[in-house]
Amino acid sequence: MSHLEKDTFGAKLGMWLFLFTEILLFGGVFILYSVYLTRYPKEFGLGGKQLDLVYGATNTVVLLTSSLFAAMSVTAIKRGAKKATLTLLSGTIGCALIFLFIKYLEWSAKFHHGIYPNSPKLIAGPPGESIFFGLYYLATGLHGIHVIIGSVLMAWTAVMVQREVLHAGDNVTLENVTLYWHLVDLVWIFIFPLYYLIL
């Protein structure tokens, strides 16, 4: 095994180990959700009905599209298509910004209606509803932070592609960043039905 192959293997292994810790992080949030769902099923259902399904569904499509662009960028760089790689990375970042803007609109609407952690409206209501929205803000806020981090990493990777630090012969960094982005997408695939489609 050459030195480059060892470095590539180590980089990929390190990324998978990191992704495992991220799965544990979000897994803890989902377990907490499950525990309280069994205790307050009615209140969680009422809380879910107050979320905007159109916003949630649109963001799901946006993130799935971004993952497609990210995966295609890896294929493009392996073929030596620098321009296509940069275009696809730009598309991924663009989708991330759209996602964050929609989430901003959604959160703003909720705050406008007095639905935010420890708001008088939630405190006055049933405790299960307050817990639902507390977990909603925790999960979507934590996910939003990961979207921002992923966007920064994508932009940094695009700069490296532009400078030809990353190219067809050495693209493990792009592969790892794309893996991270797929995890961000996967987490949303769990968030969307748990919060927006709950009955």
How confident is the model over 9-51, as pLDDT tens digits?
A: 788 888 899 999 999 999 999 999 999 999 999 999 999 999 9
The answer, as to whether pTM is greater than 0.85, is yes
CATH number of domain containing 160: 1.20.120.80
Instruction: With CA atoms as reference, report the closest residue to 12 among 128, 199, 178, 127.
Output: 178
pLDDT given for residue 2 in this prediction: 47
In the predicted model, what is the mean pLDDT of residues 150-173? 95
Model confidence over 117-144: pLDDT tens digits?
A: 889 999 998 999 999 999 999 999 999 9
> What range defines the domain where residue 27 resides?
3-196
**Total count of domains within the chain:** 1
Residue 199 has pLDDT above 80, yes or no: no
